[in-house]
Structures are given as structure tokens and as C-alpha cells.
Amino acid sequence: MERTLFEAEHEELRSSFRAWLDKEVVPRKEEWETAGIVPREVFADAGRHGFLGMAIPEEYGGGGVEDFRYNLVIGEEIQAAGAGAAGLGITLHNDICLPYFLRYCTDEQKARWLPGIASGELITAIAMTEPGIGSDLASMSTTARRDGDVYIVNGSKTFITNGINSDLVITAVKTDPKQRHKGMTLLVLERGMPGFERGRNLEKIGQHAQDTAELFFHDVAVPAANLLGAEGQGFTQLVANLPQERLSIAAAGVAAARAALYWTLEYVKERTAFGQPIGSFQNSRFVLAELATEVEIGQAFIDRCVLGLNAGRLSVEEAAMAKWWCTELQKRAVDRCLQLFGGYGYMLEYPISRAYLDARITTIYGGTTEIMKEIVGRSLGL
């Protein structure tokens, strides 16, 4: 199905970014998976090529264009190149963390942080989840007590993407532990602050090159100048930014499903059984016909949501719909495609096997499928 979402400049970015992936990422992704982390210089190289901070104003070194279609192109090409497991963290940096800095930073904070975010010298992360809580953010126990010109932060976070590499960590804390949602505040913790410690790089069943870490805060003195927005506004800020985060995850889900479909079509045309290509069997045709249809349906909704986001009209409920349905599609697609690879699908030398492992987390992070359905259900008045 022809897509009418993109202009010539988006396709120019697609070509240049894919060329960069093929040269700098694809040949090294297995090395990074073994190491469990991507070298920091990869972010700097992406920044030099203009692939970071497209929405950052030009005066701070960014692209000066707030258009999520550019983000979409980057996310799609990462999946198409089979680099979803490469652990780049670029979509987290561009799609999820950057909006907080653009929307809530003071002029002083923008001057201090945005140039480094655009260049890749300052890698970003966001820390919400704690060891004892998942989706119930209001129950967090990490605290920040105001003491003159600093906040004293104590607590811990877990499952933090870019947790090892990050220089700027948007951290959700309780400045008023007696309150639930109204007691939450966002602070930016910086690499090197005394008492801010990284735990181990967590071992996962998939996305092995993505550094995912525990973070520990022991009497960390965070300057009040690192407050994002106002005290007690943290939950409101998170809610305002979650639709873009969930759309980013959903878009990656459809792109991953499309990549799996492509790899499988190539394979079933070449692999033979009983004297004929396995793609010629009715079951193979039906499975791939169903997945091709679902990918197009998912893509149409994603494209509509992207236009809605650009126009400031993407609702929390629409983003939740996209997130749960498209990530469930991703999980279903890679599973059914792997089946058509037979025993070879179980071998890590084939990208479908890595895609299978990487897909499992997508219905969990950014809000579980169950929470997404709860959001949609409540919007129906139920």
C-alpha cells in the first residue's frame, strides 16, 4: 500500500540514516550484543551526522524541526536493518527523553544541556520504575528533600534503558511523600554526582546490546537548578509525554513486524521441502497473507497517529490503542514467522531469532498491554 505520509526531505533522511546504519551499526551489532553495551562514540557519530535532536532549535545545535515523521523514519530503518537489538538507544534519546528537555527546561538549562544532547556528547535516560513497583508510579519511594539550594535524593530505580551510558537522567522522585500523584517531581541527575551509583548492567533475554541498569541514590545533592518544571508537577509531566513515548514503541512494533515479514518472504521462496518452495504451501501463504494484512492495518493507524501528534491532537487513549495492538502484533508476527523458518529459526545466526527475543519486552515496557487496555476501557466510560 502506498504511503503518503512522507515528503522528499524525510526520504532523504531515510537514505542517509540507512547508509549510516549499514556502515557503522550492522557490521558491529553482534560485537555489541556480546559486550552488552554500545560504545559511547556511536552516539557522538550519530550526532555529527544530524541524527540526534532534530527537534532541538538550531541555536542549540539541533535540526530546528519539530516533526515526528523524522523520528518515525529513524525508528523504521533501525528495525528494517535488523538493528533493533543493537541497543542504540537513539529512539529513547530522541523520542522519549528529549521532549522533557524541550518543554520544561529553563533558558539556562537549555543552554547547558541541549547542545550536548544534539551532539551525542550527553546521552539521556529516564528513570521511573523502581524495584518494588511497576506501573503504579504514585507508590514510588525515591525521595528528594529540599535543603537550601539542593535536593537530597535517596532511593533506587531499575530497568533503566541507557542506564550505564547516560549522562543526564530524568528522575521521578517524591518531594512530598505524603502525597501520591501530586507529590511527584522530576529532577535531572547528572553523571558524576557524588552518591549517584550505577548498578550492574542487567542480563536480559533479548535486546542484549542495550545497556539496562539499576540506579542507586545515596544522599545525592542535586542542585535546585536541575529541577524540571515545578515541584509536584512530575506526574502531570509524565502523562503529557507518555503518548509520544507509546507511539514511538508502537511504530517500532509495526516496523519490526514488517521486517520479520520481509525476511520470511525471502526465506520461504528459497527454502524447499518435498520438492517445492515452502512458500508455495497453502499454510505458508495464508500465514503470510494474514500478517501482511495486519502490518498494513497497523501502519495505517500509526501514520494517522503521527499526523495527530504533529498537530497536537494525539490523545492518551489513541496512543494506548496503538501501543498495545502494535506490540502484540510484533510479538505475534515474529513468532509465526519464526515457525516458517523451522529449526533454522531457532538459530541465532538468523535475524528472526533475535527479533523473537527482542519482541517479548515490547508489550511490557512503556506500559503493559493490560494497562493500555485499562486506559482505553476507562475512556469508554467503563
Active site residues: 245
**DSSP-derived pairing of the beta strands 227-228 and 168-174:** unpaired
Positive or negative, the Cα torsion across 23, 29, 30, 32?
A: positive
- In the three-class reduction of DSSP (H, G, I as helix; E, B as strand; rest coil), residue 314 is classed as coil
The 3-class secondary structure across 135-166, one letter per residue, is CCHHHCCCEEEEECCEEEEEEEEEEEECCCCC
- How far apart CA 338 and CA 343 sit, in angstroms, is 9
Q: Check the CA dihedral 188-192-194-195 and report its sign.
A: positive
Of 171, 177, 145, nearest to 156 by C-alpha is: 171
Residue 348 amino acid letter: L
User: Closest by alpha carbon to 92, among 168, 22, 30?
Assistant: 168
Number of H helices and number of E strands within the chain? Answer: 12, 10
Q: Give the list of residues 6+ apart from residue 8 with CB closer than 8 angstroms, or none.
A: none
- What is the C-alpha end-to-end distance of the chain, expressed in Å? 36
